[in-house]
Amino acid sequence: MISTEVKINQKEFNNFKIEIKENTILVKLNDEEVLSYDDLNLNTHGKIGFRADGSKIYIKNLEIK
């Protein structure tokens, strides 16, 4: 697993993208790669969820392919 810490402006919308190809998960925040993870037991079917730990989440333009 490779991860990077980035700072975000909480007063603006941020671009968050998750790509899953075969057994690799790639996460980008504002077009900067912040996480790359290989999971040999990855399940690519099922539900997704959002968690905020007591904060509000505002989602704009959600797209799932």
Tell me the pLDDT tens digit for each residue of 8-42. 888 888 898 999 888 999 999 999 899 999 999 98
- pLDDT in the model for residue 58: 85
- pLDDT in the model for residue 26: 93
Sign of CA dihedral 31, 39, 46, 57: negative
Residue 22: which residues within 8 A CB-CB, separation 6 or more?
42
- pLDDT in the model for residue 64: 82
- Tell me the whole-structure pTM to 2 decimals: 0.71
